[in-house]
């Protein structure tokens, strides 16, 4: 392999939080401001008919030296198991990608207002997709206890 | 803006479908083979405790000239509305990113076997995350009628 893929952000997160925090993202409101060199108002036509959107973004503040390729304790909690970086959702991961489903508050020109986007002010946005309930996990979802604990106060 | 972001695939889809089709992805089994220059078995430690994973991949066969920045009828269906590219999940989109939640069948060394990954053989994989039910859409999901129709036979 060894190929590389070059992407251009379609926009940027404006507002919301200035610094990353672990928890209580649920009520945070922020805006994705689309880049007019990449998108037009037409790119968003009909988005308001959806209640939720899925955002793919880039953890731009993670330095190369921080990226984990092996395993670690989620949030450094040694009472939780050692977990591979691809078996947790930590930001310090290969390619630094984040994905979140959040509530659509409104669309205004090239600005999309969202509630519950867990990305800070200035985060580059790589994609916005409408959330369709048919894309939810099919079948019964199972996850380990540490994940439920970690997520308890996330939103 | 105008910055660009360079990513290196962590692996590749092996097996499943050879050509893209619109529907009936639900029973397709395929493997993500991780690139040993990017990942180790340790990267996957504990993944098997999850029933589902979320995969971010790259629609590598979409040529530059195919990318839609404005709006179009989903699947070319003129009986459906004109919809912005960011208000639909079509592959011909800025940055060519796909995201899907699929069922984890098993992990073996650097190979992850999945059911219901809607990406063809050879697709570059940019990230694998465990699916946690807490990341589901919070609140009631609303979507337009065309989306439900499009998804009717997707899985």
How confident is the model over A10-50, as pLDDT tens digits? Answer: 999 999 998 888 888 998 999 999 999 999 999 999 999 99
Query: What are the boundaries of each domain within chain B?
Result: 13-133
CA distance B130 to B10: 15
**Does pLDDT of A1 surpass 60?**
no
Q: State how far Cα B131 lies from the chain centre.
A: 13
- B18 CB contacts (<8 Å, ≥6 apart)? B120, B121
CATH code linked to domain A11-151: 2.40.30.70
The share of chain B scoring above pLDDT 90, in percent, equals 92
**Does pLDDT of B21 surpass 90?**
no
Residue of A nearest to B153 (CA): A134
Q: Do residues A4 and B6 make contact, with C-beta atoms less than 8 angstroms apart?
A: yes
Q: Do residues A135 and A72 make contact, with C-beta atoms less than 8 angstroms apart?
A: no
Summarize pLDDT for A63-92 with one digit per residue, the tens.
999 999 999 999 999 999 999 999 999 999
CB–CB of A69 and B40 under 8 A? yes
Residue of A nearest to B132 (CA): A143
**Does pLDDT of B1 surpass 70?**
no
CB–CB of A42 and B6 under 8 A? no
CB–CB of A127 and B93 under 8 A? yes
CB–CB of B130 and A88 under 8 A? yes
Average pLDDT for B123-151 = 97
Measure CB to CB from residue B124 to each of A5, A124, A143 and give the nearest one.
A5
Interface test with B, best of A84, A101, A151 (most B CBs within 10 A): A84
ipTM over 0.95? The verdict is yes
Residue of A nearest to B93 (CA): A127
- A18 CB contacts (<8 Å, ≥6 apart)? A120, A121
- Considering the four listed CATH numbers 3.40.50.300, 2.60.40.1180, 2.40.30.70, 3.60.40.10, the one that applies to the domain covering B13-133 is 2.40.30.70
CB–CB of A95 and B126 under 8 A? yes
CB–CB of B4 and A6 under 8 A? yes
A58: confidence class by pLDDT, cuts 50, 70, 90? very high
């Amino acid at each position: 392999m060894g190929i590389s893929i070059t992407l251009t952000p379609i926009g940027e997160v404006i507002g919301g939080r200035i610094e990353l925090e672990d928890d209580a993202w649920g009520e945070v409101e922020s805006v994705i401001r689309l880049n007019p060199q990449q998108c037009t108002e037409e790119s968003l036509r009909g988005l308001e008919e959806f209640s939720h959107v899925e955002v793919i973004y880039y953890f731009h503040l993670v330095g190369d030296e921080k990226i984990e390729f092996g395993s670690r304790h989620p949030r450094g909690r040694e009472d939780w198991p050692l977990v591979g970086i691809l078996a947790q959702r930590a930001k310090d991961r290969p390619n630094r990608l984040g994905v979140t489903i959040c509530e659509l508050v409104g669309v205004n020109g090239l600005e999309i207002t969202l509630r519950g986007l867990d990305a800070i002010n200035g985060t580059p946005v790589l994609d916005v997709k409408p959330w369709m309930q048919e894309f939810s996990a099919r079948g019964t979802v199972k996850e380990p206890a540490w994940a439920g604990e970690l997520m308890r106060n996330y939103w």
